[in-house]
Amino acid sequence: MKDHGGTEDRRSWMGILARAPEGRAAACLDAAMARPGFTWLRAPEIGTVMVRGRAGGTGAPFNLGETTLTRCALKLADGTVGHAYIQGRRKADAEVAALCDALMQTEDAARIRRAVIEPLRTEADAARASRARKAAATKVDFFTMVRGED
C-alpha cells in the first residue's frame, strides 16, 4: 500500500465523502471508472455517535444527543484498506466512501481526486456559499438618524 497523501489530506477527503448528498459520490465514481473488486473487513453497519457540546459554547463538555452513523471498512485486491464513517443510515454511500478512501491511496488517486473529490468539494462549497448569500441578504443595515445641534 502506498501512501499518496498525509493525514490532513485524508481527513479532508473523508470529510468531503461523508458530507456528499445521497448517491452523489456513487454517481461521480461510476462515471469515472468501473468499481474495483474488494473484500469487506467490516460490512456496512448502522449505529450512533453521541454528539457533545460545551457549556457556554467554550466551557465544559456535555452530551447533546446522538446522530445516526454508518461505517464500514474494505480491502482492495492489492491490500489497500478504505474506511468510511458517514452520518445517517446510508450503507450504499458508505461503501462508495470507503472505496474512494481506498482508491485515494493507490495509483488511481489523481483520477478519483479529479472525478469525485474535487467535484464534491466544489458542490459543497457552492451550496454553502448559496446559503451564505441568502443569509447576507437578511443582514440588517441600520440607518442612524443624526439629531441635535452640532
Partner 1 sequence: MYVAVKGGERAIDNAHAWLAEERRGDASVAELSVAQIREQLALAVNRVMAEGSLYDPDLAALAIKQARGDLIEAVFLIRAYRTTLPRFGTSHPVDTGAMACDRRISATFKDLPGGQVLGPTFDYTHRLLDFALAAEGEAPHTPEREADDAAMPRVMDFLNREGLIEEARPSDDVPPDVTREPLAMPADRALRLQVLSRADEGFILGLAYSTQRGYARNHPFVGELRIGTVAVEMDVPELGFAVEIGEIALTECETVNQFTGSKTEPAQFTRGYGLVFGQTERKAISMALVDRALRWEELGEDDVGAPAQDAEFVLYHADNIQATGFLEHIKLPHYVDFQSELELVRKLRREASADADGHQEAAE
* Contacting positions for partner 1 (CB under 8 A): 7, 10-11, 14-15, 18-19, 45-69, 71, 73, 83, 85-89, 128-140, 142
CB of 93 to partner 1, least distance (A): 11
CB of 6 to partner 1, least distance (A): 10
145 CB-side CA count, 13 A: 2
Q: Which amino acid is residue 96, in one-letter code? A: V
In 3D, which of 85, 126, 111 has the Cα closest to residue 29? 111
Instruction: Let me know: does 91 contact 46? Beta carbons within 8 Å.
Output: yes
Helix, strand or coil, per DSSP, at residue 82: strand
Q: Which is nearer to partner 1, 3 or 31 (CB)?
A: 3
Q: Which is nearer to partner 1, 32 or 81 (CB)?
A: 81
Cell of 147: 439629531
CB of 107 to partner 1, least distance (A): 22
Q: Which is nearer to partner 1, 43 or 129 (CB)?
A: 129
